[in-house]
Structure 1
Amino acid sequence: MATVNAAPKTLMQRFLDGVEKVGNMVPHPVIIFLILIAIVIALSTVLGAFGTAVTYERINPDTHEIEEASTAIRSLLNADGIRFLYESLVPNFMAFTAVGLMIAAMIGAGVAEESGLVTALIHKLVAVSPRWALTYILAFVGILASIAADAGYLVLIPLAGIAYLAVGRHPLAGLALGFAAVAGAFTVNMLIKPLDTVLVEFTNDAAHLVDPNRSIGLASNLWFSIASVLFLTVIIAFITDRMIAPRLGAYNPENASAGTTTDQSAMLGEQESRGLRFAGFGLLGLIAVFCFLTIPSWGPLRDPTTGELIGSSPFMNGLITLIVLMFLVTGWAYGIGAGTLRTLTEVIGAIEKSIKNMGGTIFLFFVLSQFVAYFTYTNIGTVMALSLSGVLQAANIGALPLLLGFIVVVAIIDLLLTGAIAKWAIFAPVFVPLLMKLGVEPEAVLAAYRVGDSPMNAITPLNAYFALVVGFAQKYDKSAGVGTIVSLMLPYVVWIFVLWTALFALWKALGLPWGL
């Protein structure tokens, strides 16, 4: 990565440069995952031959009842494993939800980008925001983007790169900022989101093992989550401005990939302003439609059983649809107003262009989906998680040290098992009852899980969107690779994990309420 930075580099900057250099020496991400697939096959064969297994209690995701289960390492080279390898090639890819989500999101985002709406909005944001506040605004919005599940990866991260480019800063710093905000704080928000519903249900199921009358609500971590959002916004913005941006230095547009637009300096003209007005009208119309579908008690997007809108309702579960429609409607409306996309044929052309550009990413996801499926089939990650939790459970230590040890274990396992729900189904029946017997409220255990589960999302290659961020980076720097992203994200991961854990410990020590 070429930088223009005359100031001597600090020890940390030299270390991160070394991480980037070594990381970028590794092969193409597709080759990396092919190697990992070979390792998983070999490891499963060896461990399966020795009959490696573990017995534990878990929450049944369908009945929400506690049940005893035994998990053994399954070989991929015995008869069952070979049949799985042969039969699951296409189903593995079809079940990889990141692909469908990415394509759906790009339908709307492609129209918004091709029409010029994205650029116009960034220019507007830059014009109305003080320069010092842009980083904080992007970090804050990135954390809140988790309300739309994984859509933040596809929308906020590239927008952060464009926003930084628009103010003359290095776009990779913007991408790093967006990735840290979306991934590193994924489990907290200022609003109740669908993930909270599942996590709370599993927590209550585990708490009932000790006290059948003890339950927590959807807002049981609300105060801690709100404080975490504000706290992490400051941390992420500070790291970006003081560590990431200085290391990258000035941006050289010559490093950009062919076809990448780097001129973001033009001010809004009359056509662009008219397009934004049209986009605003389109957005208001869309909001009116969704108000009709959600506000009345009979609204079809409310929960058909409870009538609730927030929580596990069709509206919350299908927020990606709202995201797609929002970009599609406002993008086309902007195109009509600005004269860039007038006809439906032109809109379809914009969608086709955005999807064509994802060919390499889709192939990478195909290989990645096989690795994730094979790793899940072998149960290697589950056995490792249970083994580590068993060691921590057997340790004769106090409540707060046990909570802190629990955060560390969750973080380690998150490098291998990235799904927040799957891990909590394993950890909840172990640690919630154990800590409740030590006088720790279940709200605190769930808050500890949120802290441990998030930061590593920004550095593990098993995050389905890690490879996508590498692709975003290569638009601005042809030489960017896995090492580039790892070196950019390491400071975020370390400091978020350390300082967020410290905030949790202080919160617990002061006895502050976790939520409603």
Structure 2
Amino acid sequence: MQDIVNVRKKKTMIERFLDGVEKAGNKLPDPVTLFVIMAFIVLGSSWILSKFNVSAVKPGTNEKIAVVNLLNQEGLIKIINEMLTNFTSFPPLGMVIVTMLGIGLAEQTGLIAALMKKSVMSAPQKLIIPFLILTGLVGNLAADAAFIVLPPIAALIFMSIGKNPLVGLIVTYAAIAGGFSANLLISSLDVLLLGITESAARLVETGYTGRATMNYYFLIASTFVLVALGTFVAHKFTIPRFGDYKGNVEKLEPISSLEMKGLKWAGIITAIYVLIILIAVVPSNGILRNPETGGFLSSPFMTGIVPIMLFLFLLPALAYGIVTKVIKSDKDVADKMFKSIADMSSFIVLAFVAAQMIAYFGWSNIGPIMAIKGAEALQAMNFTGLPMIIGFIIICAGINLLIASASAKWALLAPIFVPMFMYLNYSPALTQAVYRVGDSITNPITPMLAYFAILLAFAKRYDKNIGIGTLISALLPYSVIFAIGWIILFSLWFLLGLPLGPGDSIYLK
């Protein structure tokens, strides 16, 4: 009878709004289909706009850019002949696959799970919440593995210290999802977004080359701000909301002696590897310094950050796997790498269609013309500077409610907004940083994020009656407070003109 009453209970305005978001998002096509549709729209638009002689004048050079028809004989031949090249030269493809070889092996051997478990269990009880948030933020180094591994560990830790496990689930998920772009180290997301940003920037500057560290300084500062904000929200909203736990108490199994030995050797290998890198980078004559200038920027270290990241994960993962006997032969290593790449199959398909769409966008000149016209319109309305940046954050946050994939959204938005901001003298690093803020803040509350359903499954272990509305209402304060805090931080960063990363400033000039 009670269940019937609950079902018939009138939903709140927020719950009805979120139901609408979920319903609208479920009607969207798969991201692969979305890019196919966008590709055909670009091709059709190139034919129509070319008939109307649509063009723009490139600022600085006064060069006239006209829309190119891709549906004539020359365009169709170009589409067929360069389809393979579009895919193989798509910058994110190689970067992400190489990086994930190392991260995937670390996940498959159990190193990431053991490391997260050990780090969280070692935290003093009074610091457990900020430590969980920090672990969630840094845990994004392991890409999506953090969503699967950390929340259930956090729930069991909270239960073991006499607190509601749902608090641990909510806090950790909010940190991983809402702070998806913040980190203390360079992650696979930095590498992935860089490739898309480079492709978009080359619509304006053909030889543009970016760095995976282009937002590094800002993201480090963001990490500490989000830890403080997340801790505030947890104590102010989450803990009082869920109260005491009255269910059956489970205990988290401690780290085994074999796992501890594996972590020890993984740590030793990591320390040796980092020391070797430092020796190659810190001295002015280091082999990873710029051979001509001896500088750090535009050095082999900066351009080789992807393979450096590969071995940062790969070597400790090998050590851990061998010590824990998860890896017994070279066949085990190969098998686990195969599995990690198999998990990337959806990304590879997405990369193929995204690469075609972005190439058509560039060939047709629609992207550069939209960017120039958009920049001129913004200048005419005097809607530039900080108001424009905050507006872009809000736009990205809204789109994120319907399309959760960070790479899919950026592949759609970057070819327009990166050039547009460049014509307004803002660097690609700034546009990417702004996007990353907007992309992250609504992650906790969108049901379109695949891991939201997994969070709900975890939560039902402790409260079988819990629903989507309960989770979203608990996660909403994190999205709101993270949004306010992150926008304030970015505003201060912008007004002070601080560098976003090594060698990357807010402005182009």
TM-score range, shorter chain: 0.5 to 0.7
The 2-side partners of 1:358 and 1:220 are apart by 25
Counterpart in the other structure of 1:333: 319
Residue 108 (str. 1) matches residue 102 (str. 2): yes
Per-residue Cα deviation, 1:426-467 (whole angstroms, up to 9, x for no partner): 5345457xxxxxxxxxxxx99975764433445999xxxx9x
User: Per-residue deviation at 1:295?
Assistant: 3.0
Residue 274 (str. 1) matches residue 261 (str. 2): yes
The residue identity in structure 1 corresponding to 2:32 is V
Distance 1:473 1:319, change over 3 A: farther
The 2-side partners of 1:126 and 1:73 are apart by 55
- Equivalent in 319, 344, 357 of residue 371 of structure 1: 357
Does the aligned pair in 2 maintain the 1:157–1:175 contact within 8 Å?
no
Counterpart in the other structure of 2:128: 131
Residue 404 (str. 1) matches residue 382 (str. 2): no
Does the aligned pair in 2 maintain the 1:282–1:333 contact within 8 Å?
yes
The 1-side partners of 2:370 and 2:238 are apart by 34
Give matches, 1:307-386, under 5 Å: 307-309=294-296, 311-386=297-372
Per-residue Cα deviation, 1:233-286 (whole angstroms, up to 9, x for no partner): 5456777999999999xxxxxxxxxxxxxx994321111111111111211221
Distance 1:350 1:386, change over 3 A: same
User: Per-residue deviation at 1:176?
Assistant: 6.4
The 2-side partners of 1:299 and 1:327 are apart by 23
Per-residue Cα deviation, 1:382-423 (whole angstroms, up to 9, x for no partner): 32222222122123x5xxx74234325655897676787995
User: Per-residue deviation at 1:86?
Assistant: 1.0
Say which is worse superposed, 319-328 or 368-377, in terms of deviation: 368-377
RMSD of aligned alpha carbons: 5.0
Distance 1:268 1:503, change over 3 A: closer
Counterpart in the other structure of 2:290: 303
TM-score (norm: length of structure 1): 0.66
The residue identity in structure 2 corresponding to 1:393 is Q
Distance 1:242 1:429, change over 3 A: same
Does the aligned pair in 1 maintain the 2:90–2:355 contact within 8 Å?
yes
Distance 1:8 1:178, change over 3 A: farther
Distance 1:229 1:357, change over 3 A: closer
The 1-side partners of 2:128 and 2:10 are apart by 25
TM-score (norm: length of structure 2): 0.67
Q: Runs of 5+ in structure 2 lacking a partner?
A: 1-5, 156-165, 206-212, 243-249, 397-408, 458-468, 500-504
**Relative contact order, CA 8 A, sep 6+: which one is greater?**
1
Give matches, 1:252-267, under 5 Å: 265-267=252-254
Per-residue Cα deviation, 1:485-511 (whole angstroms, up to 9, x for no partner): xx9999988766665444555678xx7
Q: What percent identity do the matched residue pairs reach? A: 29
Distance 1:10 1:134, change over 3 A: farther
Q: Runs of 5+ in structure 1 lacking a partner?
A: 58-65, 146-151, 207-218, 249-262, 433-444, 479-483
The residue identity in structure 2 corresponding to 1:267 is P
Distance 1:241 1:85, change over 3 A: farther
Counterpart in the other structure of 2:56: 54
Counterpart in the other structure of 2:40: 38
Report the count of equivalent residues.
428
Does the aligned pair in 2 maintain the 1:157–1:178 contact within 8 Å?
no
Does the aligned pair in 1 maintain the 2:136–2:175 contact within 8 Å?
yes
Distance 1:308 1:416, change over 3 A: closer
The 1-side partners of 2:241 and 2:29 are apart by 25
- Equivalent in 86, 102, 105 of residue 80 of structure 2: 86
Per-residue Cα deviation, 1:76-118 (whole angstroms, up to 9, x for no partner): 2123321222112111111222222222122212221222211
Per-residue Cα deviation, 1:354-387 (whole angstroms, up to 9, x for no partner): 2233333322322222222223333333322222
User: Per-residue deviation at 1:301?
Assistant: 0.8
Counterpart in the other structure of 2:421: 427
Distance 1:136 1:341, change over 3 A: same
SS at match of 1:54: strand
The residue identity in structure 2 corresponding to 1:292 is I
The residue identity in structure 2 corresponding to 1:73 is V
Distance 1:502 1:109, change over 3 A: closer
The residue identity in structure 1 corresponding to 2:176 is G
Does the aligned pair in 2 maintain the 1:161–1:171 contact within 8 Å?
no
